[in-house]
Structure 1
Amino acid sequence: MSPMTPAAADAFLRDLHVGVLAVERNSKPPLAVPIWYDVDESGNVIIWTHPDSLKAKLIERAGRASFTVQQEAMPYAYVTVEGHTSRASADDVTARRIAQRYLGENGGDGFLKSNPTDGYVIITIHKDEVRSLTYDE
């Protein structure tokens, strides 16, 4: 087992996975939730969520988060992005890209019609640190 090269870690992160978002809480263990995501041109993780969700509120308070994707079959592997966060109003282009990533073109468009972006936010986890490991031989 060894760390991935930066290029391999970036490619792995861009593959289709459900990610696990982790963010600190004051008096409880960190919140860890599975979530759909995308990756921008700089390798930062982008999520689309409602601003009143627990994850959005905790991220706003903490200003940072961790995000992990993994491969559950041999060769086992993972990439974790740790970083500071920023928040912007959701836009249809980004939300559609995330929905289509997981549901395909028609399914993603249908999902977006049932879940409009009005009032939602895009949260970016800027990659301050990337950790990875692969069990390749």
Structure 2
Amino acid sequence: MALTREEREQFLAEPHIAALAVDAEEGRAPLSVPIWYQVEPDGTVWIMTGLDSRKHQLISKAGRFSLMVDRLEPTIRYVSVEGPVLDTTPATIEKLRDLSARYLPAEKVDGYVDSAWKNHGEQVIIRMRPERWVSSDLGNV
């Protein structure tokens, strides 16, 4: 059964790991990798990745990407979203802290942020405007 808009928004507000997919080079399958994500109040989805990463290069070339978020417990539920890139901006330590706080226990955020900011290289934020949604809760089947 498809999720309502409210159910979808509530599900995406939970700290799930997304699978990012983007078209790859000719002769290769799409790149599909796990990634942290955030959803803004207006529904815009954003991710953070390395400026020199393959993800960023492929997303820049394709101009769009998709995320698929799922869970197995208490029911099998998923949301997939796809859309064009709105913009790419330099990451800030504040955005890294916000994203990290979504996924890590509070006592680990500062240590992770300090390490990531120093060691992961230059990062960018890529914002996507959702165009297509696919969602389901298979618990009622």
- What's the TM-score, normalizing by structure 1? 0.92
Task: State the AA in 2 paired with 1:12.
Answer: F
- SS at structure 1 position matched to 2:122: coil
Partner of 1:131: 134
Gaps of 5+ in 2: none
Retained in 2: the 8 A contact 1:77–1:133?
Answer: yes
Alignment check: 8 A CA contact 1:101 1:108 kept = no
Root-mean-square deviation (CA), in Å? 1.5
In the other structure, the counterpart of 2:4 is: 5
Aligned to 2:14: 15
CA distance in 2, matches of 1:12, 1:40: 14
Higher mean alpha-carbon deviation, 51-60 vs 119-128, is at 119-128
Aligned position for 1:116: 117
Aligned residues: 136
TM-score, normalised to structure 2, is 0.90
The farther-off stretch of 68-77 and 58-67 is 68-77
Identity %: 34
Gaps of 5+ in 1: none
How far did 1:74 drift? 4.3
Distance 1:125 1:105 in 2: 27
The answer to whether the 8 Å contact 1:48/1:120 transfers is: yes
